[in-house]
Amino acid sequence: MEYNSPTISFFGLGYVGIVTAACFASKGFKVLAYDVDKKKVELLNEGKSHIFEPGLDKLIKESVDKGKLKGVYDPFEAVLNSDMTFITVGTPSKQDGSIDLKFVDSASKMIGEALKLKDKWHLTVVKSTVIPGTTNKVVRRNIEILSRKKYDEEFGVCSNPEFLREGSAVEDTFNPDRLVIGGDEKSVNFLKRFYEMFYNPLPPTIITTAENSELIKYANNAFLAMKVSFINMISRICQKLPNGDIEVIAKGIGLDKRIGPLFLRAGAGWGGSCWPKDLNALKKFAEELELKLPLVDATIEVNNTQPLIMIDLAKEELKDLKGKTISVLGLSFKPNTDDVRDAVSIKIINNLLEEGAIVKVYDPKAMENIYRIFQDKLTYAGSAIECIKNSDCAMLVTEWDEFKRMTPEDYLKNMRNPFLIDGRRIYDPKLFSGKMKFKAIGLGNRV
């Protein structure tokens, strides 16, 4: 098949969709971006994004100005004027934790209906995180039925999961550790040719079945979450061990090449839009296969209880939290994002409110998102210093850079009772513990 620079369409302008679309367009590929939410499409055509992600606004603005990136309101327009369509719709959880494929289902039906009107072979790429079997059983099947076209001969489908992290999504898209592409030969080759042009040279690439490709994504997320829960589990020992310090343990084991140093930062737990949802979906999928996943269960269990350690540390010092003013520094599920989905801060705030504490919060980016959840139940501060002013305890929950720059004097000068709990291990215990009441996840008493 002759291979010209393909035109690409996107269905779904969530995190993955908008970042990937902007990155492809920034390298000169023509991209048509469709979403059922007209506001997202409109904003895109104004050169803006609805999410905060370093470097993204600039990429979108430049690509829209150059005419390479265009938001479209009509799904047919997107499919009929492109050579391949990336499905990047959300895959939320159902009440029981299993995956809700309704958006993947409706997107693939729309693609199928549009393809009925198209004469040329078209590729559909499933980038959304979906349980194994979805690409073939849902996407391919929907397109086959609705387009009345022959699979392979007239259209192709493949799975191509996304591994980007929030907060470094643009950087991750340009520099992935690897690509994973799963599907039939023709589809896989078509997508691989595109990536050869986009990356030049191609990153390490796994070519496999759609099912393996889909499972790689879940196994990857589950393994990383397990790594973090593991170090959090060990941090509990350190906390009860005189002179124990989880930072040193993480360094010690991380230097073993078989373990590696990354994703061993102990803290108040993990959250976000992916891990909590994906681990539950994997569990439910395994249940259908009559399998148990004890390591996934334990990973979740450690994480459910980890944020409570912050509350216990506060109680150890203050006894009763009722009527005490507690400052929560950092609300997003990790730094450099405004995303609060399944954020640890929410669990901590809920617990503090239950204990009757007065909760003051500050985050450089996530204030609006937290306000939507807690409304008038919290006091919202305009800066970190305002947040800790006259409070009885400060809890560091998200490790934003601006918090790292704060000194013991900032806390000493501003708090009613200078008492800091470092939930992300950003402060040097030697510097802080001599000057004020200082506790940290995974830090034992000095003796």
Closest distance of CB 340 from ligand UDX, Å: 11
| 154, burial (CB in 10 Å: exposed 0-12, middle 13-18, buried 19+) | middle
Measured from the CB atom, is 110 or 250 closer to ligand UDX? 250
List CB contacts of 224: < 8 A, sequence separation 6 or more. 263, 275
**Catalytic site includes residue 274:** yes
Measured from the CB atom, is 63 or 221 closer to ligand UDX? 221
Query: Any contact of residue 128 with ligand UDX (CB under 6 A)?
Result: no
Query: Any contact of residue 165 with ligand UDX (CB under 6 A)?
Result: yes
List CB contacts of 241: < 8 A, sequence separation 6 or more. 444
Query: Any contact of residue 228 with ligand UDX (CB under 6 A)?
Result: yes
Helix, strand or coil, per DSSP, at residue 161: coil
Contact string 237-266 vs ligand UDX (x = CB under 6 A): --------------------------xxx-
Q: Name the one residue in this structure whose structure tokens are 């470094």.
A: 168
Measured from the CB atom, is 142 or 306 closer to ligand UDX? 306
Closest distance of CB 271 from ligand UDX, Å: 5
Question: Alpha-carbon torsion 26, 29, 32, 33, what sign?
Answer: negative
Query: Any contact of residue 163 with ligand UDX (CB under 6 A)?
Result: yes
Cα angle 36, 117, 24 (rounded to 5 degrees) comes to: 50
Query: Any contact of residue 267 with ligand UDX (CB under 6 A)?
Result: yes
Closest distance of CB 240 from ligand UDX, Å: 20
Upper half-sphere CA count for residue 446 (Cβ side, 13 Å): 10
Query: Any contact of residue 14 with ligand UDX (CB under 6 A)?
Result: no
Torsion of CA 20, 180, 214, 100, to 10 degrees: 0
Contact 181, 198 (CB under 8 A): no
Total residues contacting ligand UDX by CB under 6 A comes to 19
Q: Token pair for residue 131?
A: 């349980």
State the catalytic residue, choosing from 23, 158, 274, 393: 274
Query: Any contact of residue 221 with ligand UDX (CB under 6 A)?
Result: yes
Contact string 299-328 vs ligand UDX (x = CB under 6 A): ------------------------------
CA–CA gap between residue 130 and residue 141 (Å, rounded): 15
Q: How many helices (H) and strands (E) does the chain have?
A: 20, 14
Using the rule CB under 6 A, which residue among 272, 408, 418, 442 binds ligand UDX?
Answer: 272
Measured from the CB atom, is 285 or 333 closer to ligand UDX? 333
Residues marked as catalytic: 274
- Footprint on this chain of ligand UDX (rule: CB under 6 A): 162-166, 221, 224, 228, 263-265, 267, 270-272, 274-275, 333-334
